[in-house]
Amino acid sequence: MGMTITEKILAEHAGLEKVEPGQLINAKLDIVLGNDITAPVAIKEFKKLGLEKVFDKERVCLVPDHFTPNKDIKSAEQAKMLREFAREQDLTNYFDVGQMGVEHCLLPEQGIVVPGDVVIGADSHTCTYGALGAFATGVGSTDMAAGMATGEAWFKVPESIKFVYYGKLQPYVGGKDLILHTIGDIGVDGARYMAMEFTGEAISGLSMDNRFTMCNMAIEAGGKNGIIHFDEITEAYVKNRAKRTWKVFQSDADAKYAQVIEYDCSKIEPQVAFPHLPENTKPISQVGNVTIDQVVIGSCTNGRMEDLRVAASILKGHKVHKEIRLIVIPGTQEIYRQAMHEGLFDIFLDAGAAISTPTCGPCLGGHMGILAKGERALSTTNRNFVGRMGHPESEVYLASPAVAAASAVLGRIAAPWEVK
């Protein structure tokens, strides 16, 4: 019996010829990641152990991206702890204000994560890097501390679900719609502690930006990781970025899967997840008249260049509805610069949007777009739990940048083709 791509990567990093689902292994880590919320706890635990040095100063990455530039004294203290630790350890990959971006947009862009890696991050959306053909998963801050110290982590090898997406995508349907449709189908625990392997002709035709979006939200179905096979699109993305050599892994033809689930993409419309779970999805044709107060385009899910281009193509020549606040957040400094040079900022500003420095702030109700009681937001982020973006009596709807842009213009959740 062969192995899946996830099993092969874990076996390689555990120094084993073969692993099986359920097996406990100790694996070597290529990258250990933390941010301004999770890393301070890990740093305190690291120091409790009496350790002087991290296992490799080039493989521990710190990105203060949730509350920076700092919004208050507490967030300033969090960021200061990262800054001082990065100096003490002489970390190669520490990104402060002016260099930082949303961590899961930044690390692939900078070539820090490469295909075949094993990556842990003290952030649940670390699974984003599976789009590169890497095994990447979120962990707790204490696991991050152990990873910084030893360069290793233990895992239970997950079972794999193979998702096969076939057929031609409808207009304005992309990675966000495919993953929302999938989560709506299997539920928020439908892939609990399992590898979600995304395959099929529709996946092969997706851009890297759309692939990152899909893998980013694997955790919203309970997945241990999301992963997509390396191909020419992956290679074109990494070849001029990669800071290290990489190794390509592919699933064997006779690999064993817990399930194989197929979707006909020609039947999938743009999707909207209603409060208060990502599984509460509806196709755009069934949304009805839902008025909103705020639209956010950005985050580690949909803050990349292609996302901004799609949004700008719909907003061009239009104004944001008078009762809507539109916040646009490029994922990194380089995305910010490129969007500016392409003229996208003129489109956003002419429409009446606010453009922010890269931040995760509004996604978790931190800053840059907190909701008041009774307010509704349509967001391109990844979670819409109770109180996720502010007041516990606010509501969050999740959708793609195309739906978000159309909704900002019309003042209600709307299909992109409704904007004339």
Task: Give per-residue pLDDT as tens, 231-283.
Answer: 999 999 999 999 999 999 999 999 999 999 999 999 999 999 999 999 999 99
Tokens (6 digits) for 87: 């100096």
Cα distance between residue 9 and residue 320, in whole Å: 46
β-strands 60-63, 135-138 pairing? unpaired
3-state helix, strand, coil in the chain (%, to 5): 35, 20, 45
DSSP class of residue 168?
P
pLDDT for 366 equals 85
Q: Are 306 and 216 in contact (CB under 8 A)?
A: no
pLDDT by 10s per residue, the chain, length 420: 899 999 999 999 999 999 999 999 999 999 999 999 999 999 999 999 888 899 999 999 999 999 989 899 999 999 999 999 999 999 999 999 988 899 999 999 999 999 999 999 999 999 999 999 999 999 999 999 999 999 999 999 999 999 999 999 999 999 999 999 999 999 999 999 999 999 999 999 999 999 999 999 999 999 999 999 999 999 999 999 999 999 999 999 999 999 999 999 999 999 999 999 999 999 999 999 999 999 999 999 999 999 999 999 999 999 999 999 999 999 999 999 999 999 999 999 999 999 999 998 888 888 889 999 999 999 999 999 999 989 999 999 999 999 999 999 999 999 999 998
Closest CA to 223 of 186, 250, 252, 255: 186
pLDDT for 217 equals 97
pLDDT for 361 equals 84
How many CA within 13 A on the CB side of residue 336?
18
Domain 271-415: CATH class, spelled out: alpha beta
Closest CA to 54 of 178, 161, 144, 176: 144
Tokens (6 digits) for 30: 């290529």
Cα distance between residue 146 and residue 298, in whole Å: 32
* SS3 category, 357: coil
Domains in the chain: boundaries: 5-262, 271-415
Task: Give per-residue pLDDT as tens, 285-338.
Answer: 999 999 999 999 999 999 999 999 999 999 999 999 999 999 999 999 999 999
Query: What's the CATH architecture for 5-262?
Result: 2-Layer Sandwich (3.30)
In 133-271, which ranges are continuous DSSP H helix? 141-150, 175-186, 201-204, 208-216, 232-238
H or E element: which one contains 77?
Answer: helix 73-89
H or E element: which one contains 405?
Answer: helix 401-410
pLDDT for 281 equals 97
Which amino acid is residue 235, in one-letter code? Answer: E
pLDDT for 216 equals 97
Tokens (6 digits) for 330: 């490029």
Q: Are 58 and 89 in contact (CB under 8 A)?
A: no
Cα distance between residue 230 and residue 224, in whole Å: 19
Its pTM stands at 0.94
DSSP string, 319-341: ---TT-EEEE--SSHHHHHHHHH
pLDDT for 363 equals 81
Domains 5-262 and 271-415 share a fold: yes
Cα distance between residue 394 and residue 109, in whole Å: 34
The answer to whether the Cα torsion of 164, 275, 375, 101 is positive or negative is negative
Supply φ then ψ for residue 146, to 5 degrees.
-65, -40
Task: Give per-residue pLDDT as tens, 353-363.
Answer: 999 999 988 88
